[in-house]
Structure 1
């Protein structure tokens, strides 16, 4: 029998219980038993495939996709300045007399649509696959980006808001699809590396949106060029994604057999896994303590980070008498630090896991603690600074936002740990709840701060965010885990159906007496506990 074939064999302990009649080599009547067989796989070690394979290409494509789509998402904050003050950039293009209220509608309208498609995005991804859904999301973003200058000249700020809402609807499906795609392509031992690298595209896109948008607005293309460039980048990514992406390893045209086997076997996918629809255990999800702990953690992170991003500039303008919003370098420094530090976290986590210094759960909790408690301390410190400590304020703000990038490895990727089969659903649910928080943050701060020059009021705002940061991580430390939950099982909702299917499976026809096994071959057979056959007397 060739190595690598699946063989029907009785277990070693079972063969020892069979007494043979020396004359006719038949099983004696006194030892008749019911045979139980197991599928035994030879221990020929399967190669892991190339060090740089198609799974890494998928991660790189996700990185590029998150980068270009975040550029399209965030470039409006720079474009709107040029559109309402042409003299500050290129005066050869139209200028619009929009007040602060109109600007706030434009800047927030993206999230009105974004929050509506987070959960539906999970279902669309399960139904049509990440390849199709992400392609449509990026293509829709590209089309509306390219149409923006013309539509604004025709319909003003109202049409601009409508375009941003539509772009938000398209981009709401991104993170559920990214998470689902990573779950299909990332072997457990490489999940941190591939997942964290993909997610750094959000930080890269944030930094590039600020730098590139300002340069384009001042150039020959003016502010319309911001929309044209971002739309073209999204369209170019669509082309690459359509060619090289695949929903899973078995569908890829470019993957080698060894890498495909490595990915599918490490994820414990059988032959018909991708052809089945696994029902969603809603009750189990909403009553799962680790998932609820993750939900609280994500919400607390969103509150603290949105305070850093939205309220710090106002504090520096009111208390420190600084206008960092007009300085592209100061505005982008925190996000540049976040992007660079995310790679430091990635490498550190990889080393800790490779050398087995810490378990995956311990790595998650350690990195999440750093990304929550250091910014919490920085928030409290910033609240006590005055106009004489501007440089220290910038340093603290940069460090606090940068260090928070560890939350990607700490808690963001935890959805894949808890349930690889339902990772897209979990990220859709958690992101939907968490993205309500940025809407509440400015409202809460607005109720507390009635005088932007009053440092005491700002200390309350930052102190509240620090407390939420602190206790959100405490919840994760106590109840968080990186172990897959029982409700992730394929047959969790229908265990009886699975048992009945096993009973209906015809028993293989074999000889009453086990054929002799070559001693060398017998040593190469693995006998894991879950495959051990038991004799029935």
Structure 2
């Protein structure tokens, strides 16, 4: 085997291509995830819902609305200017938005297990292809009724559930330790770029798209997802050994890096250490931190357009633009902080464990403070609300750049995909619970009701920051180390000598 004296250049290397494809994969996965939250603002007939609400409780609604509108810096006349064909109340909207996550949670662990056993490439490519096809047919199911629509969203979530665990299993062999944070940080920042693209583009298509506006969101996003799936299956491989484009020097470099952390390719049949994983303190700290982070994440993803309309009174096009601004900040912070964290560790300024704890703490504590401030904002100061959201999501980039999710590859080795599947199972629960809680609390769509929503979110953020600070570890765990068959042969020879 050729000895690799120096690290092959990352720029335009095969691992660079893997990073770019992963970036666009995360981007599309989030575009397909949040498109319903955007479209539903245009699909629902708010005038009919308002008239029904007023008839139920006339005096209360009229007084609250008139008082609020008198304070608004932005005219709320738009609220009756764009109406869809569907009279779905808040509970039905919550059910539709949550249906994706019912499917999403089911395939997290199976997706990680399948990726560990058979490689992530096929699992990942197929999951995106299925989700993209069902995204294209979403408008047809919506016109049949909210139940068929919810079933369609359930299937999309079912397919997408395997995406992140499968991608994590690919990173085991393509993201060496000293490049891991920048590769994972850059790749996962694609999720925020997906939001940045989807929110304003979706808002524009709602008003100006074809086939009635909102259906074009699903057609365009779904077609792009199909194209990505085909390209991914052709370009990417599970490991460097099976890649058709990689250079010999890069291949040897990555193989040697994998061996350093006990992830040999030619190893014995692997038994999954289920018991050790579920008894691991750092794994449970990761599960809890991800649950708490995703409570805020899914609150924004599924409810931000509604909050922008209900409380801050932005029209649909401004809604999409203003909703995207916080994600621009998060994407920039995530990408830059990935580079910064690598530099801090490579120069021995801070240990990996301390860095993971610090980045998770900042990534949850600052957003907690931001949502508390946001809870006191109404439409008299709409741009202050956008500023609070921007600060909160920008600093959440600390979490994504070098926090618990990156740490999964530090502690889990070849089982990283499986651990990520378990982690994301916990992290998906907020996507199911949050829309229902928000729908129940915000029945009248008032600022006071949204204040309760945001204070709950801040408390959950703080729990995640505290638990991970106490129990974080960043070395590969003993149960995740896999011995090479060749190593066993060498040990046997040594024993025979003595």
Same topology, TM > 0.5: yes
Whether the 8 Å CA contact 2:305–2:320 is kept in 1: the answer is no
Whether the 8 Å CA contact 1:47–1:258 is kept in 2: the answer is no
Q: Counterpart of 2:226?
A: 235
Q: Counterpart of 2:69?
A: none
**Following the alignment from structure 1 to structure 2, what is the Cα–Cα distance between the partners of residues 392 and 95?**
29
**Following the alignment from structure 2 to structure 1, what is the Cα–Cα distance between the partners of residues 194 and 240?**
28
Q: Counterpart of 1:436?
A: 429
Q: Choose which of 84, 103, 119 in structure 1 pairs with 2:109.
A: 119
1:442 Cα deviation after fit: 4.8
1:431 Cα deviation after fit: 0.9
Q: Counterpart of 2:71?
A: none
Q: Counterpart of 1:80?
A: 40
1:441/1:245 CA distance change after superposition, 3 Å: same
RMSD: 3.4
Whether the 8 Å CA contact 1:46–1:258 is kept in 2: the answer is no
Please list, as runs of the form range in 1=range in 2, the aligned pairs for 1:510-521 lying within 5 A after superposition: none
Instruction: Confirm whether residue 70 of structure 1 aligns to residue 30 of structure 2.
Output: yes
1:205/1:499 CA distance change after superposition, 3 Å: closer
1:243/1:149 CA distance change after superposition, 3 Å: same
Please list, as runs of the form range in 1=range in 2, the aligned pairs for 1:96-175 lying within 5 A after superposition: 96-100=85-89, 101-153=91-143, 155-175=144-164
**Following the alignment from structure 2 to structure 1, what is the Cα–Cα distance between the partners of residues 352 and 94?**
42
Please list, as runs of the form range in 1=range in 2, the aligned pairs for 1:189-228 lying within 5 A after superposition: 189-217=178-206, 218-220=208-210, 222-228=213-219
1:471/1:163 CA distance change after superposition, 3 Å: closer
Q: Counterpart of 2:405?
A: 412
Instruction: Confirm whether residue 48 of structure 1 aligns to residue 7 of structure 2.
Output: yes
Q: Counterpart of 1:250?
A: 241
**Following the alignment from structure 2 to structure 1, what is the Cα–Cα distance between the partners of residues 111 and 381?**
45
1:178 Cα deviation after fit: 0.9
Q: Counterpart of 2:60?
A: none
TM-score (norm 1): 0.76
Please list, as runs of the form range in 1=range in 2, the aligned pairs for 1:371-410 lying within 5 A after superposition: 371-385=363-377, 388-408=380-400, 409-410=402-403
1:195 Cα deviation after fit: 0.6
For residue 350 of structure 2, give the secondary structure of its aligned residue in structure 1.
coil
For residue 436 of structure 1, give the secondary structure of its aligned residue in structure 2.
helix
**Following the alignment from structure 2 to structure 1, what is the Cα–Cα distance between the partners of residues 299 and 136?**
32
Please list, as runs of the form range in 1=range in 2, the aligned pairs for 1:448-459 lying within 5 A after superposition: 453=446, 455=448
1:483/1:151 CA distance change after superposition, 3 Å: same
1:447/1:195 CA distance change after superposition, 3 Å: same
Q: Counterpart of 2:290?
A: 298
Whether the 8 Å CA contact 1:308–1:397 is kept in 2: the answer is no
**Following the alignment from structure 1 to structure 2, what is the Cα–Cα distance between the partners of residues 396 and 351?**
29
Q: Counterpart of 2:335?
A: 343
1:296/1:354 CA distance change after superposition, 3 Å: same
1:61 Cα deviation after fit: 0.7
**Following the alignment from structure 1 to structure 2, what is the Cα–Cα distance between the partners of residues 405 and 123?**
28
1:161/1:383 CA distance change after superposition, 3 Å: closer
Q: How many residues align?
A: 457
In structure 1, list runs of 5 or more residues that go unmatched.
6-43, 509-534
Which has more helix, going by share of residues?
2
Deviates most, 49-58 or 252-261? 49-58
1:255 Cα deviation after fit: 0.7
1:192 Cα deviation after fit: 0.2
Q: Counterpart of 1:330?
A: 322
For residue 312 of structure 2, give the secondary structure of its aligned residue in structure 1.
coil
**Following the alignment from structure 2 to structure 1, what is the Cα–Cα distance between the partners of residues 299 and 222?**
30
1:95 Cα deviation after fit: 6.2
1:117 Cα deviation after fit: 0.7
1:325/1:371 CA distance change after superposition, 3 Å: farther
Deviates most, 288-297 or 435-444? 435-444
Q: Choose which of 267, 271, 281 in structure 1 pairs with 2:258.
A: 267
1:324/1:407 CA distance change after superposition, 3 Å: farther
1:55 Cα deviation after fit: 0.8
Whether the 8 Å CA contact 1:308–1:401 is kept in 2: the answer is no
Deviates most, 297-306 or 159-168? 297-306
For residue 338 of structure 2, give the secondary structure of its aligned residue in structure 1.
helix
Greater radius of gyration (CA): 1
Q: Counterpart of 1:521?
A: none
